[in-house]
Amino acid sequence: MQLFEQLKWAFLIIMGSLLIANVLFPPPLEQAYDTSTLVTDKNGQLLSAFTVDNGRWRLKANMDEIDPRLTSAVIAIEDKRFYRHSGVDPLAVLRALRSWGRQGEIVSGASTLTMQLARQLEPRPRTLKSKIIESFRAVQLELRLSKQEILSLYLTHTPYGGNVEGITAATHVYYNKSPEQLTDGEIALLIALPQAPESRRPDRHVINAQKARDEVLDKLLKAGLISKLQVTEAKQDTVASKRNNFPQMAWLASRKIKNTVNRKGKIVSSLDRNIQHNIKKLAVQFTEKLDSNVAVLVIENETMKVRAHIGSAGRDRPGGWIDMTNSIRSPGSTLKPFIYGFAFDDGLSAPGSFILDAPTRFGSYQPENFNRRYHGKVRVYEALGHSLNVPAVLALDKVGTKRFEAALQLSGSKLVIPSSGDGEAGLAMALGGIGLKTQDLAVLYAALANDGKAQDLIWTEDGKIGNGYQILSKDSAMKITKILKQAPTPDGHVPHWLARKSHAIAYKTGTSYGYRDAWAAGYTDKWTVVVWTGRPDGATRVGKTGRGTAAPLLFDVFANLPSVNGETAFERIAKAPQGVKNFGGNQDAAPVLLFPPDGSEVAVESFGIKSKGLTLTARTPKRINLAWYVDGNKLEPRHLSGQTVWQPEKPGFYKVSVVDNQGSSTSANVRIMAVQ
């Protein structure tokens, strides 16, 4: 009786100690769920993957995405009584002890899948003490987790050679596929690899890998999981000896999204893989023969979701590892539309108002036009359309630099404003005298597309659009859009009203001081695109302007974007052609003005009656009579052929219109310059 009492108390003390230890020393489950981050596109297609902190590829094993034949084979080979024990299999322990006693050494292991998981989470030397600790940990895991959770974690942490852990990572690295559908030979090799991960790696030791695979196939035959014919066919398969890399598409955007979201596992980004691929291809082609780099952002206006992000054309480009969409650069003239927009809102001017374009000094600051030419009184829409510098500074002076700065800040833009000794250099903001990120510029231009409301960019597919900030009134945004749509098409690109599958783009270019940054920012009803080109180190690129370098890429990007509601851009434009006013005729049959094109700059040698004149041409569906007007004044045909020749009286901005006999009209804003 006394012995029984002693045994009882000993048992209670041991059990109590184990219970206390279970509470005080829990298993490291936080480490168990530390897996690689996967960034997918909006449809779940993998874009980029990231290793865990120790540099290992460890992808979460989702049981509903794993071939059930694999899990059945793993249990049959590694732990037959997995569903019947509580972490430690007593029968396996007895078998191992008996073999040890007979052979004098351990020839049969007793580790369950749960014990192997415990060893994976806390690696230790293979000693008896370690076995005891692993057994205790296994019981702890069984108390806390279901069998499915344990199996999932085991298949997440199992080593497969090198820095590869887990079945999902292994199937990608060795087979370039997911673990949903595997061959018998692939299943056998994936079971054999963890038993000796380094010596059986198929990318280094293909013969060892094949031999181990065949041994497992024989075991699966003996367990009744596959037939003899399946074994024969599986052994004839060649073991893949090539290791595949994880995709690194949109790697800069993926890194930003990973750091922003700050969570492990799968992150569904807002990026569209197809759009991303097409725009990246354009960026690579664009920089092939240049010593510079490029950044592109594509925003879906309605949702503000980033559908494509090119922070760099490639790691081989200058500064190729830097995300240039997140770098502070001078925006050049790209902020001019907002200066005039604020002036419209404040009642200071309107698109048709006159503004002076002449040398003007503002204290110690005297801006100059890009080509050092001045045109006297011009209308605001002409000043913006031709990006004249002095009128923009005049407009900013009226709006106020503090008001301009505050409005941009409230939109979410992070401005870097250089210090000014006399307090007057703030007017240089009109010409790019501040620092701004591509991402912030995209927010501003998307605001123009969204009736003047600025809203944050959305980087994940489940992200929701916020309340935003009304940076401009809807009316002013529409006026600015109308002006920007008149901008001339870049060289080498057909005007949108002549080209099928082309977008009606409202856009503005910009060039920073010293040609360091070239910009083009534009938008349609559906998309906003911002393009930056330059060198990340800020080196000068003589002659590289926004119009000459960034605008062509901007138009190429738009040409690769889907249109609204499946309707081609050409069909959308044909219903409301740019610059057409219908006075009762057939609007779809309106004449197309070929020369001079809208937004063009034409140099002439002389003016008035001494001028040779400009022959005006247009295309119509039928041979019908056309009437030509300049600033509302009708021109008479001068040639018997019926062609009309215009002899400008002086340099300046003019509106040229052509009207057919049905009353349909098309107009173009043209700048006439004197040959120097």
Question: Is residue 629 within 8 Å of residue 657, measured between CB atoms?
Answer: yes
Our answer to whether residue 78 is catalytic in this structure is: yes
Q: How far is CA 517 from the centre of its chain?
A: 21
SS3 440: helix
Structure tokens at 483: 């002006």
Place of tokens 């937004």: 599
d(CA 470, CA 455): 9
Question: Is residue 466 within 8 Å of residue 476, measured between CB atoms?
Answer: no
Structure tokens at 206: 């293909």
d(CA 483, CA 378): 14
Our answer to whether residue 333 is catalytic in this structure is: yes
Question: Is residue 540 within 8 Å of residue 557, measured between CB atoms?
Answer: no
Catalytic residue among 36, 48, 78, 665: 78
Question: Is residue 118 within 8 Å of residue 134, measured between CB atoms?
Answer: yes
Question: Is residue 552 within 8 Å of residue 507, measured between CB atoms?
Answer: no
Catalytic residue among 269, 270, 292, 333: 333
Nearest CA-CA partner of 494 in 558, 445, 590: 558
Question: Is residue 306 within 8 Å of residue 458, measured between CB atoms?
Answer: yes
CA separation (Å) from 154 to 111, 134, 191, 225? 13, 14, 12, 21
Q: Give 260's contacts (C-beta < 8 A, 6+ positions apart).
A: 459
Q: Give the Cβ contact number of residue 246 at 10 Å.
A: 16
Q: Give 131's contacts (C-beta < 8 A, 6+ positions apart).
A: 111
Nearest CA-CA partner of 156 in 61, 224, 46: 61
Question: Is residue 296 within 8 Å of residue 515, measured between CB atoms?
Answer: no
Q: Give the up-direction half-sphere exposure of residue 115: CA atoms within 13 A in the CB hemisphere.
A: 23
Kind of pairing between the strands at 664-674 and 601-604? parallel
Strand partners, 617: 595
Find out whether the peptide bond into 562 is cis, omega within 30 degrees of 0. no
Residues with a catalytic annotation lie at 78, 333
